[in-house]
Structure 1
Amino acid sequence: MTNAHFYPIGTPGQPWGDAERAQWRAAQQRQRSYFDDVVIALEQLPDDFDVVQYGQLDHAPDHYPLFAVVNRDWNPALPTVLVTGGVHGYETSGVHGALQFLSDKALGYVGRANVIVAPCVSPWGYERIQRWNREAIDPNRSFRDGGQIEEAASLMRWIASRGDALLVHLDLHETTDSDLQEFDPARCARDGKELVPETIPDGFYVIGNSEDPQPAFQQALIAAVEKVTHIAPADANGELVGMPLQSPGVVWGESRSIGACAGFTDARYATTTEVYPDSPRTTPAECNQAQVAAICAGIDFALAQVETSPKR
């Protein structure tokens, strides 16, 4: 599962300039439709939910309204859950897992929690099956300093303006073979750095925020997902993607400090989920189901802590 090769844009050892970024952007072709796959699905949600436009990406001739879903019967006395998907547009089950949670499970939590779901944070990347945004910037390193790109800034502004006290934030991702075949080589070429290939974990895992990892919460997600699909084993170094294994399927990594989406809120329980959709041991449907299982397990765990805590 390793691959090292020269990336066809740029000069080895030299970071990209505007010309190289423009060359890269011109090579990105639309392969699927955000409107057909996401917007229409949101329009079909029951009346128990409101679809809110919190921003827009304008890349003429393309314009992408950015949507989030909130439950209509909002109760400020209840804890609030945030689910984000499609921060990396190419990570398909992040988007479709969030949509499946909305259609199948979210309503069951209304009355115990408020629910916010932003299913596709990066629609330009979703359509082009691309990790980066249009400017060759990684959205999942941009949730800091008020949002370094519009995909991040729009969501951060909107969440901040609401003033909700978030209990849970689940950010849905995938780790794919294309990370090694395309995106890691592109990143190293863009930054003028040497490519050091990594091993892609075969299975589901979670990345807890090393600044506040909440191990029992992370373990609850793994216990739920292993009923749906397999959990990634550690590599020969006892690691997953360069991070030491803390417990089966659980690693801790920087979040807020690197601008990851899972770290931009003050949610007590936060995580990044990771599915490996290229495994012969799973299917796209199972990957979506794994994301839904992780969301539900995370909410269930967090609500159990709140609902059983002593009242003052």
Structure 2
Amino acid sequence: MTSSYPIGIAGQPWTTEHKTQWHKAQILHRSYQQQVVEPLLALSEQFCIEQYGELSYQQNYPLYVAFSKNWHSDKPAILVTGGVHGYETSGIHGALAFLQHHASRYEDNFNIVVFPCLSPWGYETINRWNPAALDPNRSFYPQSPAPEAAQFLQTLANKQWQFVMHIDLHETTDTDNSEFRPALAARDGKENHNWNIPDGFYLVGHSEKPQPQFQHAIIAAVAKVTHIAPADENHCLIGVPLEQFGVINYDAGKLGLCMGATNAPYVTTTEVYPDSATATPENCIAGQVAAICGGLDYLLTLQQ
């Protein structure tokens, strides 16, 4: 399936002028300060909340990380990231809901680190890209051109945290086909080929460390609160062969994905489907929280 895009010249990559045209067409739809920062700062009695950076676009966006106050070097650390793609709403609010309602019961066993929203401009404009038309989730590598990724990576290097688990919270939406894949093809001067949007939740594991039992445990936990995406007629999800029910694998390091940014042995990327006929914002958030808790519950079984 192909489609045209209103910016650029078919078959030619975007120039700087085209990227500027795209940037100027973006509109603010919601408030990062009110909907993300204020709820996060309200948790300052339970967690250390630190500003680790700032993005300077049309306005300044402070970037925050929350982590355990009672940090013990003898406990394993776990990492949760949300909002790498700012438009993927349940990832951001799932990270916040985990901190608000669930993290405390795991702190006896784990040090917890949560970056709830790496791309606040994307959150406010409901965008996959940053203002330079860069996808942060293809930019987690040294000397990253995306400040969303670069400041996150620098913070991990400064803190010298070592993680046993990293869960990166995402969504696959109908707008992937209606907006974001056509825009990507136009930006790169290529023909657009849409993919089948999976109807339900699925995971993307790391092909270099797939951890199938870990992935299975998360799928089982999420299945209690929302449905898992079935494979398409080619036994694939988004064009990738199924590794097991509800799970595909990507080479995260090669692709510059956030889940490949640490040496954690247990990593995954969640994919919630908010456009399902049965989905609600609350249900999508519950799926993200169940994924985090399912991963942690699996790790607890390994400590026994």
Which range, TM-score by smaller chain?
over 0.9
Corresponding residue for residue 38 of structure 2: 40
Alignment of 1:219-230 (within 5 A): 219-230=216-227
Corresponding residue for residue 260 of structure 1: 257
Q: Is the contact made by 2:171 and 2:274 (CA closer than 8 Å) also made in structure 1?
A: yes
Q: Which amino acid aligns with 2:234?
A: N
Change (3 A) 1:206 1:195: same
How much has 1:286 moved relative to structure 2?
A: 0.5
1:16 aligns with 2:26: no
How much has 1:4 moved relative to structure 2?
A: 3.9
1:303 aligns with 2:296: no
SS of 2:203 mapped into structure 1: strand
SS of 2:227 mapped into structure 1: coil
SS of 2:242 mapped into structure 1: strand
> Counterparts of 1:127 and 1:240 in 2: how far apart (Å)?
29
SS of 1:57 mapped into structure 2: strand
Q: Is the contact made by 2:68 and 2:113 (CA closer than 8 Å) also made in structure 1?
A: yes
Q: What TM-score do you get using the length of structure 1 for normalisation?
A: 0.96
How much has 1:163 moved relative to structure 2?
A: 1.4
Corresponding residue for residue 31 of structure 1: 29
Corresponding residue for residue 137 of structure 2: 140
Alignment of 1:99-138 (within 5 A): 99-138=96-135
Show structure 1 runs of 5+ residues with no match.
none
SS of 1:42 mapped into structure 2: helix
Q: List per-residue Cα deviations over 1:111-154 (Å, max 9, x = no partner).
A: 21000000000001000000000100000000012433110011
* Residue of 184, 196, 202 corresponding to 2:199: 202
How many residues align? The count is 304
Q: Is the contact made by 2:2 and 2:191 (CA closer than 8 Å) also made in structure 1?
A: no
Q: Which amino acid aligns with 2:106?
A: Y
SS of 1:198 mapped into structure 2: coil
Q: What TM-score do you get using the length of structure 2 for normalisation?
A: 0.98
> Counterparts of 2:145 and 2:20 in 1: how far apart (Å)?
19
> Counterparts of 2:23 and 2:300 in 1: how far apart (Å)?
44
How much has 1:254 moved relative to structure 2?
A: 1.5
> Counterparts of 1:304 and 1:80 in 2: how far apart (Å)?
16
> Counterparts of 2:112 and 2:228 in 1: how far apart (Å)?
27
Alignment of 1:111-190 (within 5 A): 111-190=108-187
How much has 1:200 moved relative to structure 2?
A: 0.3
